[in-house]
Amino acid sequence: MAVQLLRRRFTADEYHLMGRAGILGEDDRLELLEGEIVEMAPIGSRHQATVDRLNRLVSSRMADQAVVRVQGPVRLGEDSEPQPDVMLLRLRTDFYESAHPAPNDVLLLVEVSDTSTEYDREVKLPLYARYGIAEVWLVGLEARTVDVFRSPTTQGYQEVSQSGPGQHLSPMAFPQLDVAVDDILG
């Protein structure tokens, strides 16, 4: 006889209440995905260096055109609040103080994958597509590639391309922003 586990799913509001109550610590590496609180992998030095490079590359060029958010949450519906590595968000004077950004606020979302490539591809990318995140870059540190996902549908992204060393990328929302893959990968 198979044992069936009953799972209690949480809303984003409940997730935040647990944080305010001290059940979840400020330094805990957690995110809420489809009602489940998921522990995130520790950040290695190569992963963090890549995030820092991306932050420097885009912050210096996009300061007056977008909010650059590093490892901060995006609210996807009532039960998901992932924390991508880097996002370019619509410019707002309050810097999203009143609420976390929603999918239509995200102009570019970047996930850096070192040990989490499979998880990012199989769990997070479909979630981002279902909620209509227009463009996602998946930086694969092992493969030394940047995969670009565009045209989201409920079944996934319709446009997928891959770039490697020696190539350049530009986000759809900012075609004037030319980013060398070598500058991302270091």
Which pLDDT score, from 0 to 100, does residue 68 have? Answer: 95
Residues of the chain scoring pLDDT < 50: none
| Domains delineated in the chain | 42-185 (3.90.1570.10)
Report the DSSP beta bridge partners of residue 159: 150
Which pLDDT score, from 0 to 100, does residue 40 have? Answer: 87
CA dist 6 and 8 (Å) reads 7
Average pLDDT, the chain: 93
Could you give the C-alpha distances from 48 to 141, 167, 186, in angstroms and in order? 11, 22, 12
Which pLDDT score, from 0 to 100, does residue 96 have? Answer: 95
Pairing of strands 66-70, 86-90: antiparallel
Which pLDDT score, from 0 to 100, does residue 10 have? Answer: 92
Which pLDDT score, from 0 to 100, does residue 100 have? Answer: 96
